Amino acid sequence: MIYGSVCSGIEAATVAWHSLRWVPAWFSEIADFPNRVLKYHYPNVPNLGDMGTICEQKVSSIDLLVGGTPCQSFSVAGQREGLEDERGNLAIEFCRLLKALKPKWFVWENVPGILSSNKGEDLGTILGKMAQCGYGVAYRVLDAKYFGVPQTRRRLYAVGYLGDWRRSAEVLFEPEVLSGDFTTSKNPKEKTPSLVPIGAGKGSGFVDVYNHALENWVGQYAPTVTASFGLGNAIGPKVLTKNGVRKLTPLEGERLQGFPDGYTEIPDAKDMERYAAIGNSMAVPVMRWIGQRVDKVDKR
């Protein structure tokens, strides 16, 4: 499978799909630090820059387009300007790329807040444009904590297949759901999380994590890490140690997202750059699960 990636960030998709032997044809990212991470890890993969210029460039054909377009305009924590926001409108640009490039598959990610953005009309507009491009689309909200990392991170994932919605649905939903048996359906789960952040206490995950938004201690799963989770104030989860409360380290952030240790520790990297890039990324284990399902359906 040859894929193109837009809004690439630090490339959770490529980390997730490496074991499938899928090949990235190109990336599309404009932020400085993620660009440096991409160049460090994938020096031979071209970075096309602004996704709005891709249609004007001569690019190689791809089997799959993947991207998590900016979520701030749809998030319940933001101003919720939806598609009226320039960042939110990049979801429409994603559809424009689908129409121009005609990949067999696509995977698109965003925050669950898009379900209610503009009373649901924004998501309806996006899905409608995907359908107009010829894709059968399925979407589902998945939580990273069920995929092997100790982080509560709910995100909406849409999968599309050119010409057939049944293949898209087969990727995101278990057979019993597709057959109409909703009583036995459960979220997919893996074994107990093994990606344990350092200094997080006993057990298999975050035993002693503080969520300032709730003013209490939460169990073994950290609240969602965001671009600002490394700040020293009340934003984001905190860890309780024998010496008091501290913020997470970049290494812990990498582990919460399922990246290899030190993945963002490139030359001249600053901690705040690492925090922002990690918080803006996708959860690697969720993307791996989706990739494995796409691979299985595609081969059949």
Is residue 71 flagged as an active site residue? Answer: yes
Provide the residue type at 109 as one letter: E
Helix (H) or strand (E) holding 209, with range, is strand 209-211
User: Which runs of consecutive H residues, i.e. helices, occur in the chain?
Assistant: 12-17, 32-41, 90-101, 121-132, 165-172, 175-178, 250-257, 271-279, 284-299
Q: Are strands 64-67 and 135-143 parallel, antiparallel or unpaired?
A: unpaired
- Say which of 7, 71, 95, 133 is annotated catalytic: 71
**Which residues, including other chains, have CB under 8 Å from residue 48's CB and lie 6 or more apart?**
26, 27, 28, 54, 57, 59
List CB contacts of 176: < 8 A, sequence separation 6 or more: 182, 184, 185
**First CA to last CA distance, the chain:** 14
What positions carry a catalytic annotation?
Answer: 71
